[in-house]
Structure formats: structure tokens, C-alpha cells
Chain A
Amino acid sequence: MIGASGARVEIVDVTRTFGELSPTIDRLNLTIGSGEFVSLLGPSGCGKSTILRLIAALDQPDFGTVKCSAEDNPQKFYRSFVFQEAQLLPWRTVLENVTLPLELMRLPRAEALARARTVLRRVGLEEAATKVPAELSGGMKMRVSVARALVSSPRLLLLDEPFAALDEVTRFRLQEDLYQLWLQEKMTVVFVTHSVSEAVFLSERAIVLSVKPARIVMDHKIDISRERNRKTRLEARFVQEVGLLTQAFYQGEE
């Protein structure tokens, strides 16, 4: 369903200030390669979400440039965003929520419905297609939100602490599902989190940011097997990586 390569992201000398004296982001440089799964880690209020919004073009930098390019997808709809909360339209059914991006992209209805049903099957929500969000659990709502983001075949998937409000079991399950989806689709993923273990489990690369103004404390390649499942969290290498990033996390808070 989705093409081969992900988008490439280049953030060059970006500064963003929100009406205060000190900027939230000050001359940040960061390149994210095509098909990478990158986690942005950092303390609350350090500017992680701001970076994500700049990449999504939902916000503009005061200085510097943010460039995103998806070579195999010349049309502009190659970015998708998953918010902290599911942000579903409460009056629409699960199926209608998932077709929304395709409706806005003016895709024929029959094609939109077929694509939405395929994505719902992949996130295990085919049975819930006719339910409305009020009839779903928190985990199911977040699955719908992920399905809505995937339905437009994005080359760049941006996620802003999507599993933060969920219980641990649901969170682990959704992390495993997201990782499998990324392995299959190979789109570029930028994942904002303040959970170190979540970043280690999901990413190929983790970037630890300092407190405001955000600067990169550590740009680290996660060195664990690509075969990631519920046993991964118990492996010595996983624990070691968590320790390493936690140390950098504390360093960023100082």
C-alpha cells in the first residue's frame, strides 16, 4: 500500500521564540534520514513538541529553515501527525474518522473507504468500524488515531507523546504494533516522548535534548536487535541502553 522510502528532514539553524526573552529553540541543527525511526527525548517544556510542529509545518521558525522532502511522493500530503490525545471527531464513526484525511485530500469515496478498511484491519480495529469514539477504550482511540495517520500513506509520521496517557500494558502493546508497522512501511518516524525505555524500544536513533533552549545533549544510535518484542525489554543490552540515555537525560536537565 505504501511506497518504499521515507521523507528526509533537515533542520538548519532553527530558532523559535514564543513571546519571551529566551528562545525555546536556539540555532538547532538536525538531519533525519529517509526511513529512520528517531525519538526526541527531553524534560517537559524543553521544546520537543515545538520541533515536531515545525517539521509538520504547523508552526514556522523565526530564523533558519526546516526542509522535508519525500522523493517518491511529489504531492504535498506526505506528513501525518499523531497528537498526545487521540483527537478523534466524536460524531464520526471509527471508519469515518479514518477516512477523514482522504476526504480532505478529495479522494473518491469508494477508494477512501477501501483504504480505511485496510488500515483498520492492520491496527486490529476492523470490528469497531461502526462505533463512535465514546464507545471505545483509550487504547482503541489511540489505535484509530494511528490508523487515521497511516491512511494517507505518509512518508513522514510525526508522533507527539501518543501513548503517554495510556496504562502500561496498553502502551507496551501499542509500542510493539507501531514498531511492526514501521518495519513494514519504512516511512520516516519522528517520535516525541519523555519515556527513556519507550525511546529505546522503538527507535533506531534517540536524540536527547536539554532544558530550554533545546540543544542536543546526545545523538545516539540504539544498539539493540531489530527483532523487538516483549522479551526485548528484559535483555541486558536494552537495560544498558536505557541507562545510557537516562544519564544523558539527567545531564540535559542540569
Chain B
Amino acid sequence: MTMERNHLRTKIFRVLVPLLPLVAVTLVAEIGVRSGLILDYILPAPSQVFRAFVEDYRELSKAFLETAQGALTGLTLSFVVGIVVAFGLSISDILRRAFLPYAVFFQTVPVIAIAPLLVIWFGFGLPTVIASAFVVSVFPIIASTLMGLKSTDPALLDLFRLYSASPWDYLFRLRFPFALPHIFTGLRIASGLAVIGAVVGEFIGGGGLGSVVDVARTQQRVDQVFAAVLMSSLLGLVLVAIVNLCSHLVLKRWHASERS
């Protein structure tokens, strides 16, 4: 009984502690704006942001779904392309040497700089948003999958060699399952980046939360900017939570990262 009570207390403690800074910052902002110490066109009062949520609920939720569609499609595309590219690079040393430097280079190009190009190539709207989300989220998946595929235990490779395993066996019975924890790490990073990519794409290509932020900025609606930014963060958190859930379901029985 005492143990159960202690467990409950620990759980409550774990939830409450991260909430304290949020409550403190919210209170300080609210008091600061109401007392005139902070100008509301610089930082809106949390109550103003809340009001923006309520008043612009329809517009914001429609934008949220548009951004979610762009980010999720871009992320799915990154996952498929990233895994296939990493498989290819892991099989052939020549392919790896030929293409990996370009993959690294591709990652260093700032998405905001190539977003106008994406509009030229894909036109206004969803295709540009998807392309932008894809561009920023594909590299972490390639890099982490490749690292996972290359870090297979040498003794296990010997075991497969002993039974003359085919390249297919090596890849699907050994290297791929071994790489799964790395793939989930890459996906976790990529899901946050996909939202950033989608919002940047929307700044140029239109639609979604990116467009809401852009229009609200021109109208000096800082409260609406904050509401849209918070919603894009929420989208990122939802995507990370989905990846975490998948990772837990797949790895919980055998990998240390999910067993604790």
C-alpha cells in the first residue's frame, strides 16, 4: 500500500515538475503585459493567445490539418526514400563513396534558401510543402539507417557466413532488424524537422500554419502568430509521439532503450 502510494507520488511529481516553469512563465507574461511592462505587440499576454485560439479556431484547425498533411507526407516520403537509399549505400562501397558526400552536402543546404526554387519546380501549394518537408527530413533517416546497417556485430556476420547466407538474408534477417533502433532515432529527429520544413514551405508556397503566421505578421496579429507557432509545435510533438509509440511497440521486448 505504502509502495503504491510512493509510486503515485513519484508519478505526480514527474508530471508537476515540468509544468512549474510553464506556469511561472505564463504568469510573468500575463502580469507583465497587463501592467504595461511588456508591449503586447512584442509579446502578447497568454490570455490574448488563448482568445486567438478560441476566436480563430476554425482557421487554425484547418491550417493545422494542412500542415499535418504536408509534414506527414514529406516524412513518409523521407522514410521510404531514406531507407531505400541507406540500403543501397550499405550494400555497395562504390555507391557509398560516390553518393554519400552529396547526401551530406544536400543536408547542409538551408531549406529557406531553396524554398523559392521548390516553388518554381513544384508550383504553389501542397507539392512545394511536401518537397520542403522531405528535403529537411530525409538526411537524418539516411544517416541513422546507414549507421545502423553498418554497425552489425561482426560475430553475427560470421555466423551468417558459416551457413552461406545470401545477401538477402544478411539484409533482412540481420542488418535491418539490427538497425531498427537507429532507424527510430532518425525518424524521431526527422519528424520534428518535417514540421519545420513544411512550415517553411508554406511561407513561400502558401497554405497551412506557415501561411497563417505570414499573414498574421503582416497584420501585426502577434497573438495569432503565437497561436499558430504553438500549433506547429503541437504537430511536431504529435509526430514524435507517434514515432515513440511505434518504437515502443517494435522494440519493447528486446531492446534496452525500450525495456526500461
Contacts and interface: CB of A to CB of B under 8 A. Distances in A.
28 contacts: A56-B158, A58-B162, A77-B163, A77-B164, A80-B162, A81-B158, A81-B162, A83-B158, A83-B159, A85-B155, A87-B155, A87-B156, A87-B159, A89-B156, A89-B174, A90-B255, A91-B253, A91-B254, A100-B159, A101-B162, A101-B163, A104-B160, A104-B165, A104-B169, A132-B253, A132-B254, A134-B254, A134-B256
Interface in A128-156: 132-134, 152
A134 B251 CA distance: 12
Interface in B46-94: none
B259 interface: yes
Contacts of A85: 155
Secondary structure at the A interface, as helix, strand, loop or mixed, is: loop
Nearest to B170: A104
B175 to A, nearest CB: 11
Contacts of A115: none
A212 B162 CA distance: 27
A48 to B, nearest CB: 16
Interface string B223-260: 00000000000000000000000000000011110010
B163 A105 contact: yes
Q: Please indicate which of the listed interface residues B177, B253, B255 has the most CB atoms of chain A within 10 Å of its own CB.
A: B253
B7 interface: no
B217 interface: no
A104 B163 contact: yes
- 8 tightest A-B CB contacts, nearest first: A104-B163, A90-B254, A87-B155, A91-B254, A91-B177, A104-B165, A132-B254, A83-B155
A58 B155 CA distance: 10
A79 B162 contact: yes
Contacts of A133: 254
Interface residues of B, number: 21
Contacts of A79: 162
B254 A58 contact: no
Contacts of A53: 158
Contacts of A77: 163-164
A98 to B, nearest CB: 13
Contacts of B4: none
Contacts of A80: 162
Nearest to B259: A134
Contacts of A81: 158-159, 162
B165 A89 contact: no
B173 interface: yes
Contacts of B174: 89
A30 B242 CA distance: 59
Contacts of B259: 134
A85 B153 CA distance: 12
A58 B164 contact: no
B164 A76 contact: yes
B34 interface: no
